[in-house]
Structure formats: C-alpha cells, structure tokens
Amino acid sequence: MTFDTLTLILLGGVVLGALYALMATGLALVWTTLGIFNFAHGTFIALGAYIAWQVASPEALGGGLLVGALVSVVGMFFIGMAVYYLLIKPFERSADIVVKSVITTLAGATILENLISIAWGPRNKQLSAVLTGDLQFFGLVMSRNEAAAVIVSLVILAALGIFLQRAPLGRAMRAVAQNREAAQLMGIDVVRLYAVAFGLSAALAAIAGVLIGSIRFMNPLMGSDPLMKALIVVIFGGIARFTGPIYAAFIVGLLEAFMTYAVGLYWSPTVLFAIMIVVLVVKPEGLFGKHRKSV
C-alpha cells in the first residue's frame, strides 16, 4: 500500500464518516427521544436532496444551491413533523408501538419513495457542487466539494451539540429521552417535543441528502443504502451519548474505505454487518455507551 493509496483511503473514509455522522445523528435523535426506529429516514435523505434540486437546479427553478439547501432543510423539518403526527402519534399509547412504527415508517417510506419517483422520475440527477476545484494541504489532495461536505457536517453537528447542551428546547429533549414521565411532570409538552425531534432529524437528513446529491448521484432509492449504514453506525456508537454515533461514523467510514480496498466492494458491507452483530452481542449499548437504553 503506497502512501498515496493510504491518504486516498483515509480521505475517502473521512468524507464517508462525515456523511454517516449526519445521518446517524438524525436517526439517533429520534431513537433516543421516541424510542423507535425510523425506517423513513433514508427516504428523508432522498426527499431532501430532490427538494433542494427542484429549487436549486438550473433545469428547474434555478435558485442556486444555497437557497435550495435552505428551502430543503426548512421544508424537511415540517415534513418530518407531519410524518410524526401522521405515522407515529396515533400509536403513542399502543403497547406495540415499536413494531407498529416499523411498519408505518416503512409504509411512509414507500409512499414518499413512490411520490418522488412520480414527481421527478426514476433517472439519476445531480446537484451542482458546493465548491469546485481541489484543495491541497500537507501534500494531500482533496476536492473542495468533499472538504466542504466534511466541514458543513462538522459545523452542523457542533451546532446541534450546543443546541442539545444549552438551548432550553434541546435540554428538554434530553430530559424526555432520559425520563419521559418526569419530564412531563416538569411541564414539558412531550408530544410537541417529539414532533420537533422528528423534524430536526428530518432536517439533518435533508442536509445529508444535499451533500450526497452534490458528491454523488441522486435517485429515489438513494437513501436506502445510507440508512443501512446509519443503522450500523448508531449501533456501533450507541445512543447513550450524543457524540457516540459521531465517533462511530468516522470509524465505520474509515473501516468501509479500508475494507473496500482490502476485501472488495461486495464483501465490505457483509463484514460491516457481521461486525455490527458482534458489537450488539458483546456490548448492546454500543462502543461508546455507558448504560443501556432499552425500549
């Protein structure tokens, strides 16, 4: 393995890790607060990308990438809230909400996926790059676009971290995640908070979608593979801490990059999933988890 290959793998892993971190954090946000797993998260990624494309692309409205991304993030926030009220809220008091939310979010994903396919067609599209050209530092070469993706991801995650640590709404969210009944007794409107958590998660998915759409191609099914990766990441990192999935995302990103090199494109997902199963068996609370949050 030459130095160039190594850096290539490392940088590729970092970019993947940044994207996975965004997606996994969104997924973990819903999981920690609501205790359910949102299978529509992958479709949120696709829908966010397509909304941004609709606003930004010169073939459509031509508003530019920044406006497109903004519209997409705000739009997805409200779509996420709507999805919560339509698909999760009705089963809030149901004993088998975990399995029911699996089926309703799967159904919701099917609906959105097919709507995307009806509205925009099944063919691949691409968002324009955030930045063009290459970046050189310490002898490493990286496209500016990918560097921008990494930086945007990290900034967004840092902002989210501060929001959860400091902002009243963010603290309320953590409170509900820790003890729903106690939080409710303190006067927190749990239902509204759940909706906000879902909206935030969808907004994060939209950002991830925009970044993926500008680095790779987009199609109605673009979210299903990232969803599976985000699932691995969340399990790797555990959800006990906000930062768990972020560390895990970079580990998984790097692992995947190395593995693709070492065992080939086809085998690397198998190995990843196998590692995930091992982690779940040995340490169900995740590599960075302290205690287990069981639902």
Partner 1 sequence: MRYSPSFARSSGLIPTLVALAALALLPLVFDGNYLRHLLVLAFIFAIVASSWDLSLGYGGLFNFSHVALFAVGIYAYGLVAKTLGLSPWLGLVVAGGAAGLVAALITLPIMRLSGIYIILVTIAASQVLYQIVISQSQITGGTSGMVSLPGLELFGYRMSRDGKIGYYYLALAMLVASTILLYRITRSRWGRAIVAMRDHKYYAISRGMSETRTRLFTLTVSAAISGVAGGLYGSYMRVASPDNFGLGLLGLLLSMLLLGGAGTIWGPILAAFFVTIVSEALAEYGAWRNIIMSLLLIVILIFYPGGLWALLQTAREAFDVVRTQAIATLRRRSGKAAREALTGGQERIISTRHGRVAVADGGGNGPALLFIHGNSSAKEAFAEQFKAFRDRYRVISFDLPGHGVSDNADPEQDYSVEAFADVAEDVLQALGVTNPLVFGWSLGGYIAIELAARGYPIRALSVSGTPPLRVVPEDVGKAYDATSHFALASRRFLSPSEVRDFATSTTGPRDRATKHLHRAVMRTDGRARAYTLGKLQIVDWPRQMRFLRAAAVPFAILNGSKDPFLNHQYFRELKLTQWTGEPADVVGAGHAPFLTMPAAFNARLAAFLEAVEKGNSMSQTTDRPTIPE
Asked if 154 and 15 count as a contact pair (C-beta separation under 8 A), the reply is no
**Nearer of residues 1 and 265 to partner 1, judged by Cβ:** 265
**Nearer of residues 60 and 228 to partner 1, judged by Cβ:** 228
Shortest Å distance, C-beta 63 to partner 1: 27
Bridge partners, residue 243, by sequence: none
**Nearer of residues 138 and 266 to partner 1, judged by Cβ:** 266
**Nearer of residues 107 and 158 to partner 1, judged by Cβ:** 107
Shortest Å distance, C-beta 285 to partner 1: 10
**Nearer of residues 36 and 208 to partner 1, judged by Cβ:** 36
Shortest Å distance, C-beta 99 to partner 1: 6
**Nearer of residues 261 and 273 to partner 1, judged by Cβ:** 273
Shortest Å distance, C-beta 98 to partner 1: 6
Shortest Å distance, C-beta 57 to partner 1: 22
Q: Give the residues lining the site for partner 1 (CB under 8 A).
A: 31, 35-37, 39, 86-87, 90-91, 94, 96, 98-100, 102-104, 106-111, 113-115, 117-118, 224, 228, 231-232, 235, 264, 266-267, 269-270, 273-274, 276-278, 280-281, 284, 294-295
CA-based Rg of the chain, rounded to a whole angstrom?
Answer: 19
Shortest Å distance, C-beta 1 to partner 1: 23
Q: At what angle do helices 244-263 and 224-237 cross, to 10 degrees?
A: 120
